Every structure is written in structure tokens, then in C-alpha cells.
Amino acid sequence: AQSVTQLGSHVSVSEGALVLLRCNYSSSVPPYLFWYVQYPNQGLQLLLKYTSAATLVKGINGFEAEFKKSETSFHLTKPSAHMSDAAEYFCAVSDYGGSYIPTFGRGTSLIVHP
């Protein structure tokens, strides 16, 4: 069985500050991991995907995430927050145990202050 835990339903940062959104997963087999972003009243868009090719994954809009097997984590970071980064962020895991159907975390709302 697979599951995802996102620590913190809300994260608040100042513009220009480091963004860190946490995601921990559980999976009985090597997982595929995703980060998605959702702007208000819209669907989700893919930010990045981990497929075991490299532990540090670069995504769109300056975001990146690092896969750490020992910590079962896949935290999302961005060196400098922009006002336009304010959105809901979802971590998701997919593995064969679930027929590849992705399981989503509860989401983290990123608030960016001027």
C-alpha cells in the first residue's frame, strides 16, 4: 500500500525567501513521485516527477525536489519565492502495488508575503 504525508497544511514565506514544502511517502516498492501545483479554481499542473534516474529533480518555475530513500522523503524547494508561487501544492506517489494509480497528499497551501 502507498501513502503520502504532507507536513503543514499552510506554509507562509516572504517574497525572496526559501520555499520548503515537505512530503513523506510510504511504499512497499520503489515509488514514482510527483509534485503538482493548483491555482485557485483550476486543475492541477505537473511541477516535476521522480523516476529513479536522478535523486535531484528539476521542475518548472524554478522548483526542484530531492528524493531521499533513507528518509522516505521528496521535499519540494525553491531558492527564492515569488508572489506568483502562491498556490496549493500536492505531492503524489504511484507504485505497482496500486496498479500505478497515484495517491495524493492533502496538499500544502503556500502563502507569499510581499
Interface with another protein includes 43 (CB under 8 A)? yes
* Cell numbers found for residue 35: 509534485
Of the residues 63, 74, 89, 90, which one makes contact with another protein according to CB under 8 A: 90
Strand pairing report for 64-68 and 56-58? antiparallel
Of the residues 42, 55, 61, 84, which one makes contact with another protein according to CB under 8 A: 42
Three-state SS at 6: coil
Segment near another protein (CB under 8 A), from 12-20, 58-66, 69-77, 97-105? 97-105
Number of H helices, E strands in the chain: 0, 12
* Cell numbers found for residue 5: 504525508
Interface with another protein includes 105 (CB under 8 A)? yes
Q: Which is nearer to another protein, 70 or 99 (CB)?
A: 99
Three-state SS at 48: strand
C-alpha 89: how far from chain center: 6
Segment near another protein (CB under 8 A), from 16-24, 35-43, 56-64, 69-77? 35-43
Query: Which residues contact another protein (rule: CB under 8 A)?
Result: 9, 32, 34, 36, 41-46, 49, 51, 90, 94, 100-102, 104-107
